Chain A
Amino acid sequence: MGQLVQITTGEGRVWRGTLVPSHELSGERIVQLKLESGYNVGLHLGPSDRVEALPGAPAAPEKEAPATRTNDRSTAEDRPWIALLSTGGTIASRVDYRTGGVRPVRTEREVLGFFPDLDKDGPVRMVTVSDRLSEEIRPEDWLSLAREIVRVFGEGAQGVVVTHGTDTMAYTSAALAFLLEDLPGPVVLVGSQRSPDRPSSDAFTNIVQAARLARHPDLGEVVVLMHEGLSDDRFAVHRGTRVRKMHSSRRDAFRSRDGPPLGSIDGETLTFCGDFRHRSNGPARLSGTLDPRASILWFHPGLDPLRAAAFVKGQRGVVIAGTGLGHMSLEHLPWIRSAIAEGTVVVMTTQCLAGPSDPYVYSTGRELLRAGVLYGEDLHPETAYAKLLWALGQSNDPAEVRRRMLEERAGEFEARHQAVEPG
């Protein structure tokens, strides 16, 4: 790859260009050349075609962006700084056009080369925690991220920005909110729906706003910051336990469930829509751990109780995404009863995009409640799952786990569901 070549076809047509990786969906025996004009062409190589390498060393795979300027570290030490923890995902990745792969931006130099406005309000220290797309992130990564956050706060960070893939960012934000205590500053998760190699990427504005929010003098909780609309000048600050990715592609995909976001940023102005958790005097600490022996079960018409039972077997907990107010077919009662008898914590939530679960309205709910299902109020399934892992990490006693599940910890319950348009 990267070699300058000349291809002479059987008919005598000569193509000259740089060999580049073919698209994953290219046909067989298709060779891709980048021509001098910049266009790529797909050529089907036949037996009578001749390929010659032209002189000139193949272009080396790219390493890192040339620094467009340098970060002034001499003054960085004594000014208030924030930490930027990178976990991977769209916001921290770029396409390597030589190899065709997506790769993370790693070094501080490269990140600052990419986001030159990032440290305009003060120094930023970079930490690479992982290099993963967010669907590859696992509960143990939430734990190591939480430890890293405790560490950088311990070193004096004023706030923390976590760059994260958007697909599972809301799971991570919820898990961090349950794990972290006594935060002396904000933890701002941020992502982008368009990769920063596109001129229109939302990464540029999101990350700069996240860095500003991380310097907020009062805020002391885990939040998610993303676009509030389709424009580049409005941003929403969501509570880490109430947020959900509600659209697969729009830049305003993230919405707070069952109410307004925690805050809104219009241009440069941040307005909080309700009470937020204030920063503590610290030190930040990790409270407990996570027990990953739990899952989410999505109920659907026709779900075979035997399959469901097999899925839950051996787990310490299960979050059911039930229909409507938190229902599932009563055919499932037998396995639910025996799972609970064996000490599994069964939490009911709703698969509806908004609204609470409630066991009292229909007889199905009452039956499930009688069988020992714990209704998760207005926790959405992802938050209930993160909380369940945390609660299971706190105690081996199912009764204690159940008590913790219903005890408010990180603003995860919304007492009032205001009459606003559903997000």
Chain B
Amino acid sequence: MKAGLEIHQQLSTGKLFCACPAELSEEVLLTVSRRLRATGGENHAIDPAAMFQASRGLTYRYEATPTSCLVELDEEPPRALNPEAVDVALTMAVLLHARPLDEIEVMRKIVVDGSNPAGFQRTALVAVDGEIEVDGAKVSIASICLEEDAARKIGEAPGEVTYRLDRQGIPLIEIATGPDIVDGAQARSVAEAIGQLLRSTGRVRRGIGTIREDLNVSAPGGTRVEIKGVQELAKIRRYAEGEVERQTWLAHVADELRRREASVPGTAPVDLTELLRSGARGPIGRALEQGGVVLGLKLPGFAGLLGNPSGGEARLGRELADHARSVGLGGLLHSDELPAQGVEGTLEGAVRTSLGAAGAGDAFVLVAAADPALVRLGLEAIRRRAETAVHGVPPETRDPLPDGRTRYSRPLPGRDRMYPETDVPPVPVGTERLARVHAGLPERPEAVRARLAGLGLSADLAGQLQRSGDAPLFLELVRRGRAPAAVARLLSQEVPAVAAEPETIAGWDASTQLLDDLLLAVEDGRFSKEGVLPVLRELARGAGDLAEAQKRAGLSGLAPEELGRLAGEVVRRNAALIGARGESAFQPLMGDLMREVRGRADGQRVAEALRTALAARRPPERA
């Protein structure tokens, strides 16, 4: 197995080609509808991935938000590369011992699935030839790129897809390792180590969807396949191993097909609508009931190779079906899965005769749908995939499925989809700039770990803060004078808990200042430490500031004067008790006052107020 990882991390520097903040938004200002065409890059070669996407002919709707502008809408030329984002990329280059390029050239990568309103994603190679050592093993870093994130998919309807532009243009650092990773466990630890380095810069966005991993896998005899968007690191191993198994099986199938001299005939598909009208059941039967058509394609030499006799997950039949699905069909029926859907016995014989597929080595596929054009398109996709099967494993992009399997999504984009972004000037990387980057390097994760231990954090908690990327934030809040224990609890428990709540605004992230204010409010006794979670929750649900959140949480803390007044009243009301019991009256009075305060101030502050009130009651001692 040869696997490489691609890690995409969003930056918090502001967008890459405009002055918008790198923030998501739920507020839609206007919606624009567009269509995209596949256009040629150099030498007019139209990239297969682009052609495939454009052939679907969809309308794209784009929602503009307060965090997007005319640049994201492709209504204004992009600005120069965000210099802060470039510095973060160069910082990563230094941390990964990579070689920055002398000049950064911005490219357009054609993507016409609508996820970029311009029809291309801007991307730039920043550095090459790095390495990282994880658990004693060195893994090469092939490239570090800076690119813009795509728009956020909001929904799909027949014929149209809706995207929101808030995410469009958020800078992404893409770090690609070489094909050096030997197993899933190593993939996981490398991803974690790179993730930690990224977060150590303090300039990355946090939360769900802000870091994404792709897996590049090639098995012996196979080819490079990209598994896009593996969100859960825990599953990397299953995806990688499943992909090796798939490629190994398909390579075996290709060998066998060549041995049998199998080929896919160029003849027109055969219409089997009338033949199957009375006998077919299942999806084929339903399509016919809706006035649809059935087309069949003969695959000579494929018999027994569409299924997997060894019982493995990898099957050529599934590959063909995935290609049919990619153009919008429900699936297919192939001869290795017969009898099924009513195609059995004499009916199967009749189908074979009609297709001229009566030979022992002949297989066939049937496709049905209400729309005849769709059936033809689907069968053509199947034919092309079957032709490829004879040659081996095609390079492609696959989507991860929740169950650990993957599914074909589109052809692997080639170099034909890359062409220069002439609207953006190149960025020179001079020695001066690199010196500045070196001078501002963040602390290495090992050093941070030592500092955290020095502040009394357990190894577990320190590790958790580093993995989550909160270590710099932790150190900053402690530097500002907040108590390490309170900061640790806030960052390791309260913030993650609130971030995971469904009512929390998408992409919510509290600023350092806000967290500082929150802890300070507790220190000042404006509310108790139990109040942190409810106040934070209100902030995450859109409260404008701390005071508003506190109010919404029903914790508008008591003003010191009000607390003093309440304490004074309790003391006055209980004058007799105090007279009788002296010092030991403090406990019952405290209970009384706490009931009055109702959580609006913490115990320590309440006790202080009570002591002050008691002291004020005593007549001053005479000398």
Which of A23, A30, A197, A229 is in CB contact (< 8 Å) with B39?
A: A197
Which of A34, A199, A231, A249 is in CB contact (< 8 Å) with B37?
A: A199
In the complex where A201-B37, A231-B32 touch, is A41 in contact with B118 (Cβ < 8 A)? no
Interface centre among A30, A197, A249 (most CB of B within 10 A): A197
User: Does A42 interact with chain B (Cβ within 8 Å)?
Assistant: yes
Contact with A along B401-430 (1 / 0, CB 8 A): 000000000000011111110100110100
Residues of A within 8 A of B129 (CB): 13
- Measured CB to CB, the nearest residue on chain A to B99 is A13
- Measured CB to CB, the nearest residue on chain B to A203 is B37
Check B426–A42 contact: CB distance below 8 A.
Answer: yes
In the complex where A23-B425, A39-B418 touch, is A200 in contact with B36 (Cβ < 8 A)? yes
Task: Report, nearest first, the 7 A-B pairs whose CB atoms are least far apart.
Answer: A199-B119, A42-B103, A38-B418, A38-B415, A44-B102, A97-B42, A25-B425
Q: Once the chains are docked, how many angstroms separate the CA of A150 from the CA of B323?
A: 53
Residues of B within 8 A of A38 (CB): 107, 109, 414-418
- Measured CB to CB, the nearest residue on chain A to B64 is A230
Q: Once the chains are docked, how many angstroms separate the CA of A95 from the CA of B421?
A: 11
Q: Once the chains are docked, how many angstroms separate the CA of A231 from the CA of B61?
A: 9
Residues of A within 8 A of B145 (CB): 39
Residues of A within 8 A of B30 (CB): 230
Given contacts A26-B103, A42-B428, 8 further A-B contacts (CB under 8 A): A30-B426, A37-B143, A39-B123, A44-B103, A97-B41, A199-B120, A204-B35, A231-B34
User: Does B350 interact with chain A (Cβ within 8 Å)?
Assistant: no
From residue A387, how far is it (CB to closest CB) to chain B in Å?
32
Residues of A within 8 A of B42 (CB): 34, 62, 97-98
- Measured CB to CB, the nearest residue on chain B to A249 is B76
User: Does B622 interact with chain A (Cβ within 8 Å)?
Assistant: no
Check B44–A251 contact: CB distance below 8 A.
Answer: no
Residues of A within 8 A of B (CB): 13, 20, 22-23, 25-27, 30, 32, 34-44, 59, 62, 65-66, 95, 97-98, 100, 194, 196-201, 204-205, 229-233, 249-251
Residues of A within 8 A of B117 (CB): 200
Which residues of B, 72-126, contact A by the 8 Å Cβ criterion?
73-77, 99, 101-105, 107, 109-110, 112, 117-120, 123-125
Check B420–A97 contact: CB distance below 8 A.
Answer: yes
Residues of A within 8 A of B75 (CB): 230, 249-251
Check A199–B76 contact: CB distance below 8 A.
Answer: no
Could you write out 11 A-B pairs with CB less than 8 Å apart?
Answer: A20-B420, A23-B105, A23-B422, A38-B109, A39-B124, A42-B103, A42-B105, A43-B101, A44-B102, A44-B103, A199-B36
User: Does B584 interact with chain A (Cβ within 8 Å)?
Assistant: no
- Measured CB to CB, the nearest residue on chain B to A59 is B43
Check A65–B40 contact: CB distance below 8 A.
Answer: yes
Check B101–A41 contact: CB distance below 8 A.
Answer: yes
User: Does B520 interact with chain A (Cβ within 8 Å)?
Assistant: no
Check B105–A95 contact: CB distance below 8 A.
Answer: no
Residues of B within 8 A of A42 (CB): 101-105, 426, 428
User: Does B137 interact with chain A (Cβ within 8 Å)?
Assistant: no
Which of A27, A199, A251 is in CB contact (< 8 Å) with B38?
A: A199
User: Does B33 interact with chain A (Cβ within 8 Å)?
Assistant: yes
- Measured CB to CB, the nearest residue on chain B to A15 is B128
Check A199–B110 contact: CB distance below 8 A.
Answer: yes
Residues of B within 8 A of A196 (CB): 39
User: Does B293 interact with chain A (Cβ within 8 Å)?
Assistant: no
Which residues of B, 377-408, contact A by the 8 Å Cβ criterion?
none
From residue A305, how far is it (CB to closest CB) to chain B in Å?
39
In the complex where A36-B415, A249-B70, A249-B75 touch, is A204 in contact with B37 (Cβ < 8 A)? yes
Q: Once the chains are docked, how many angstroms separate the CA of A42 from the CA of B414?
A: 21
User: Does B288 interact with chain A (Cβ within 8 Å)?
Assistant: no
User: Does B540 interact with chain A (Cβ within 8 Å)?
Assistant: no
Residues of B within 8 A of A98 (CB): 42-43
Check B77–A249 contact: CB distance below 8 A.
Answer: yes
From residue B429, how far is it (CB to closest CB) to chain A in Å?
9
User: Does B54 interact with chain A (Cβ within 8 Å)?
Assistant: yes
Check A199–B118 contact: CB distance below 8 A.
Answer: yes
From residue A56, how far is it (CB to closest CB) to chain B in Å?
14
- Measured CB to CB, the nearest residue on chain B to A96 is B42
In the complex where A30-B103, A59-B43, A199-B118 touch, is A23 in contact with B420 (Cβ < 8 A)? yes
Residues of B within 8 A of A197 (CB): 39-40
